[in-house]
Amino acid sequence: MRQFLKMTLASCLGVFLAGVVIFFFGFVMIAALISSAAGSGSKVAVPTGSVLTLDFTTKIPEHKNNISSRSFSFKEEDIPGLHDIAGLIRHAATDDKISGIFIENGTGGLGASSSKVILDALEEFTASDKFLAAYGDFYTQEGYYIASPADHITLHPVGTVDFRGFASYVPFFKGLLDKIGMDVQIYYAGNFKSATEPFRRTEMSPEAKLQTREYLGDTYSLFLSDIAEARHMDVDSLKSIAWGFQIKSAEDALSHKLVDEIGSKADCEMWMNSKMGKDPLNKIHFVTIDEYAAVTPAAPVNTKSKNKIAVIYAEGEIVSNRDDYGVIDDGRYVKLLKEIRKDDDIKAVVLRINSPGGSVLSAENIYRQLVGLKADGKKIVVSMGDYAASGGYYIAAMADSIFAQPNTLTGSIGVFSIIPNPSRLLDTKLGIKFDTVRTGPYSADFTVFFPWSERENNYMQSRTEAYYEMFLNKVADGRHMTRDAVHAIAQGRIWSGERAVKNGLVDKLGDLDDAIESAATLAGIEDYKIKEYPVFQNPLQKMITDLMDRNTPSSSAVSALVQSQVPQVMEFWSAVQSGEPQARLPWGLSGIK
């Protein structure tokens, strides 16, 4: 009894102390949030003659704040989405306070289709009487693509422009798995479904090489043609430069007219001052895109109509029971679509998809709600981003109309399953064996503790093929094609947006604005408002909400918070990501005070 009371009192004391810690931590966080909100209320100064700065090295979500991870900070603010940034660039062209735009990093980081969205907005900006300048210590091909419309491109004297063409790299693990005795059960439907090849082959299959060569070639052709137009060069000259690896230094980039000046960032600033008619050494007032977003009001909606078009952003992997940012959780999207179905003022839906796919079950759950929404009389138009493939195409197939960018990757209509089986490794390498007693012939089937029998493999393959048939029929119904016609262009094959238009998987080439205009036409409305979904909190607000929603602290949440605060870890990761030589102290020394 004494031991029981002792344990009970200890438990109560532990709960009490935990409650105090949680309360204190929560109080500090809420106070910080209030302080942050108060600070964000003060407007950023944008005096006349300001220069808007763009830096695309950080991850940019399709939709505002929809980003899976970001370092913790009490000063976290809203993160503009891809289309917000494009809109702000266009707005800056008519803003009297903005004299020009400065792209201040050459490494890029956006996907091919996302880069095209930004490039098109910058091309429109250059039609104004304002300047567009760019500076880079080094230009990757992605970074140079975005910088190419600039009136003046400056490159650091020891930098260069990486201009060698595109390549795709695929690691293969079968040799390693064989060496360690690890088996992998693989089931797939579709000769082009190459996602499983790294675990069952030692090199790319002919089918994988064919589809990769096609979509890589399509993407590269658009890359060259856009740069040729921006730099007033011809495609053949650019192709020759890449094939001959003629850009090895800053001097090479200048002589081949890929850049306009070799110099420092200060030299580029002097050029900008000259364009503004100011002293070359004048201090320029720069405004970041985040700051500009905070002070730029949304375009006024000049309509009294109740009609609405819902724009739903579906970005990331398709998953289940992961209600997080940067993924398409079926629970969240099913609930959202049910709400939209009940709103009679919403006449049409534009589904913006940027997803490589994911769970078949989750995709099916979202698909069913979209079918129901369509049955309710609401028109559905899909707009594709960098990817709308596999499960991403699954949820797109039933739309009334589908738009894609020329360099969108789509299709990949196929299914696969990968199940690791360590039984041989455990037996031969570690000497661990398993035995079993069964109540029936199938009781111990489908376990990773035993090698799989032919009947187990046959069952899993038949299930995979059944899912594939379901996928084919979904596409056939949505695209008004026969099952066999879909199968001929499916089999897991990836298509560029340009080729997808030709084979019937996509209706038209166009961006998000084109899809919205199409939705309005299909719904028969001219006067309407845009309503965007889902609504995401900024990172700090989300963290506070998560803390307040939890009754007890989770070890994973504490671990994530601690990790985000360890500067050595963050510095190490940043250096690894940069891929550049480092001139710095050993990791850890910078954390010593």
Catalytic residues: 193, 390
Contact yes or no for 230/149 (Cβ under 8 A): yes
Contact yes or no for 379/349 (Cβ under 8 A): yes
CA dihedral 183, 184, 190, 194 (to 10 degrees): -100
Write down the residue that tokens 């091309």 correspond to: 123
* 459-463 own/partner pairs: CB under 8 Å, 24+ apart: 460/185, 460/187, 460/417, 460/419, 461/187, 463/187, 463/417
Query: What residue type is 343 in one-letter code?
Result: D
Residues contacting residue 502 through CB under 8 Å, at least 6 positions apart = none
Residues contacting residue 276 through CB under 8 Å, at least 6 positions apart = 49, 99, 100, 131
d(CA 56, CA 121): 14
Contact yes or no for 405/116 (Cβ under 8 A): yes
d(CA 584, CA 495): 44
Write down the residue that tokens 């106070």 correspond to: 31
DSSP character for 593? -
User: Is 384 strand, coil or helix?
Assistant: strand
DSSP character for 591? G
Residues contacting residue 308 through CB under 8 Å, at least 6 positions apart = 343, 345, 346, 347, 528, 529, 530, 531
Which tokens belong to 108? 């890029």
Q: Which of 118, 122, 124, 150 is nearest to 135 (CA)?
A: 150
d(CA 593, CA 512): 50
Contact yes or no for 193/416 (Cβ under 8 A): yes
Listing DSSP states for 145-208 in one string gives: HHHTT-SEEEE-TT--B--S---------HHHHHHHT-EEEEEEESTT-GGGHHHH-SS--HHH
